[in-house]
């Protein structure tokens, strides 16, 4: 058998002990945004960035920001505090109907109001919306400049989720989030119609409710659900709920469960009681999936920025993880489904940019994050984006793809000393390898079931003899000296680990193996021209 020299040259022994944990890096993608709030795509390579001042800009597939705004409604929005243009979502049929939706705060005679409006793209320029095409779909009055929610997202069935905060400056003094006669502190679900109206989905939890209960409400008990994400693959609506000062929450609810979840605010914050005045003692509150302690409660977070589940294809290690971050710390975490309804939570980036306000995806499922500190857009990448190492079965050897270092295992147990690119196992087992692919990047291969076969003689090794076999404390090796130069001899134990090495210059050698354990061994000769020959011998 001949092993290419390029493979042999990569076999650098290094300390490889454990696979690197999943981590990410933020790669600058575009900049120059002014108080950005949201990211969206229209089914193509463009990214649309909503700014709080009422302008929507386009990032092209060449990472440039178009100088002209896609939409400018700055004359309509109230731009201060937590008010302005807060969210944007494109109709699922945008490629045919050219419709998209925005969530903003506007003036009215009594103060301010939240507005859900629909616009059309220009019929002549795909990078320009028609500013005269506005159709107001839904409005609700607001009494403060805080906690507006502001997100909107389409479900697979074409219904539209819209988030509203409790509308207060703190503590929800009106207990609006528990009051079903208003949408504050709620997520509503509507079906936009062809005109400027909407209908109530028949399966909404309060579609048939009497009295002043709003039939639009789908979920309640939220403080400020600034960012939500629909994940059809996981049948989930994910909610990032900004906390009061105790805990920052991630909430989740199945898309097909229309029972009307109540996430607890202001009665509860996180997993603990907050203010039970005016609360129903018999109510069932849905606990969060996870919480992070606020900086006022001994933690390091200040405002939850809910994110998105990674469904892209560039980074397999990120698949299925729900990403979320914090406005103050820039720490990125993820949630990955575990067994029996559990969730695995990991820190992916300890400290990122400040002022992160949104994590969202492009049309290809790749994730982006944007900060209003400096107005920068980042692409989220696996910090270890290398392909997973692969194992090739080549006769009686296992060969790992090229790496800087290796650590082989069999049946889940590390093989001491097995740190080369090529392994020569002599026993049946499930083999895998950890491969060092660079700084902070150690990845594990899949497991390969290996069953040794007899070693073929081959022309190059027809006179390669090992005797006696079996042997006690010594045995002899002889071979034809094919070319001038030194022959490298390695004795490998049953797990392919080298236990003896000799450099030989004549066609015969006697080897002392006293002290070695009994068992099956492999004698491997590497000739000066790169040809490798092997024989087995049993030591008694």
pLDDT in tens, 22-64: 999 999 999 999 999 999 999 999 999 999 999 999 999 889 9
Stretches where the chain sits below pLDDT 50 are 1-14, 454-460
Q: Quote the pTM value.
A: 0.82
Element (H, E) at 28: strand 24-31
Separation CA 267–CA 170 (nearest Å): 13
Percent of the chain past pLDDT 90, that is, above it, reads 77
pLDDT tens-place string over residues 191-218: 999 999 999 999 999 999 999 999 999 9
The sign of the dihedral angle between the CA atoms of 467, 468, 469, 471 is: negative
CATH architecture of 24-30+62-382: 6 Propeller (2.120)
Measured CA to CA in angstroms, residue 256 lies from 25, 219, 222, 253, 259 at distances of: 34, 13, 20, 9, 9
Element (H, E) at 7: helix 5-9
Closest-CA residue to 533 (of 450, 457, 448): 457
In the chain, where does the domain assigned CATH 2.60.40.10 lie?
Answer: 5-16+386-448
Residue 389: phi and psi, rounded to 5, are -60, 145
Is 125 buried (19+), middle (13-18) or exposed (0-12) by CB count in 10 A? exposed
CATH topology of domain 459-539: Immunoglobulin-like (2.60.40)
Domain 5-16+386-448 homologous superfamily, CATH: Immunoglobulins (2.60.40.10)
Cα dihedral 209/214/217/223 (nearest 10): -130
Q: Is 107 helix (H, G, I), strand (E, B) or coil?
A: strand
Separation CA 327–CA 301 (nearest Å): 7
Contact criterion met (CB below 8 Å) for 309 and 236: yes
Residue 198: phi and psi, rounded to 5, are -145, 160
> What pLDDT was estimated at residue 457?
43
In the chain, where does the domain assigned CATH 2.120.10.30 lie?
Answer: 24-30+62-382
Q: Which residues pair with 253 in a beta bridge?
A: 237
Separation CA 487–CA 484 (nearest Å): 9
Q: Which residues contact 416 (CB under 8 A, 6 or more apart)?
A: 497
Token pair 């998105």 in the structure block, residue: 308
Separation CA 424–CA 376 (nearest Å): 51
Separation CA 227–CA 234 (nearest Å): 18
pLDDT tens-place string over residues 448-499: 999 875 444 444 455 788 999 899 999 999 888 766 788 889 998 866 778 8
């Amino acid at each position: 058998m001949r092993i290419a020299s390029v493979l042999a040259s990569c076999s650098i022994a290094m300390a490889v002990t454990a696979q690197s944990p999943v981590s990410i890096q933020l790669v600058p993608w575009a900049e120059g945004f002014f108080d950005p709030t949201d990211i969206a795509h229209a089914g193509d390579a463009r990214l649309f960035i909503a700014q709080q001042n009422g302008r929507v800009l386009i990032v092209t597939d060449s990472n440039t920001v178009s100088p002209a705004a896609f939409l400018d409604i700055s004359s309509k929005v109230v731009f201060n505090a937590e008010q302005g243009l807060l969210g944007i979502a494109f109709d699922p049929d945008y490629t045919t109907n050219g419709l998209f939706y925005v969530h903003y705060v506007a003036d009215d005679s009594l103060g301010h109001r939240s507005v859900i409006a629909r616009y059309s793209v220009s019929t002549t320029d795909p990078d320009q919306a028609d500013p005269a095409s506005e159709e107001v779909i839904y409005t609700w009055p607001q009494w403060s400049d805080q906690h507006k929610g502001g997100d909107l997202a389409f479900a697979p069935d074409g219904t539209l989720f819209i988030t509203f905060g409790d509308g207060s400056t703190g503590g929800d003094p009106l207990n609006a989030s528990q009051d079903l006669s208003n949408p504050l502190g709620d997520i509503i679900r509507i079906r936009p119609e062809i005109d400027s109206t909407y209908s109530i989905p028949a399966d909404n939890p309060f579609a048939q409710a009497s009295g002043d209960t709003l039939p639009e409400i789908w979920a309640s008990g939220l403080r400020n659900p600034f960012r939500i994400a629909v994940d059809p693959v996981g049948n989930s609506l994910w909610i990032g709920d900004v906390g009061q000062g105790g805990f920052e929450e991630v909430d989740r609810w199945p898309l097909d469960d229309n029972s009307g979840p109540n996430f607890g605010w202001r009665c509860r914050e996180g997993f603990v009681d907050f203010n039970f005045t005016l609360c129903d003692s018999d109510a069932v509150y849905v606990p969060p999936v996870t919480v992070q302690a606020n900086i006022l409660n001994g933690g390091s977070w200040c405002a939850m920025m809910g994110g998105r589940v990674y469904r892209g294809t560039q980074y397999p290690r990120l698949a299925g993880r729900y990403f979320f971050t914090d406005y103050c710390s820039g720490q990125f975490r993820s949630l990955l489904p575990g067994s029996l309804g559990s969730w695995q939570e990991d820190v992916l980036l300890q400290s990122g940019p400040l002022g992160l306000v949104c994590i969202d995806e492009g049309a290809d499922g790749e994730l982006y994050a944007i900060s209003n500190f400096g107005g920068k857009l980042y692409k989220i990448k696996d910090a270890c984006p290398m392909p997973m190492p692969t194992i090739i079965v080549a006769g009686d050897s296992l060969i790992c793809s090229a790496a800087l270092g290796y650590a082989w295992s069999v049946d889940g147990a590390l093989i001491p000393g097995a740190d080369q690119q090529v392994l020569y196992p002599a026993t049946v087992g499930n083999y895998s390898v950890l491969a060092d692919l660079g700084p902070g990047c150690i990845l594990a291969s899949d497991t390969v079931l290996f069953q040794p076969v007899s070693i073929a003689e081959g022309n190059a090794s027809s006179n390669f003899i090992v005797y006696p076999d079996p042997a006690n404390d010594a045995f002899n090796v002889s071979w034809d000296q094919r070319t001038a130069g030194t022959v490298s001899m390695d004795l490998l134990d049953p797990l392919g680990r080298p236990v003896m090495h000799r450099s030989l210059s004549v066609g015969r050698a006697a080897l002392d193996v006293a002290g070695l354990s009994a068992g099956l061994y492999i004698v491997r000769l590497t000739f000066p021209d790169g040809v490798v020959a092997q024989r087995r011998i049993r030591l008694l």
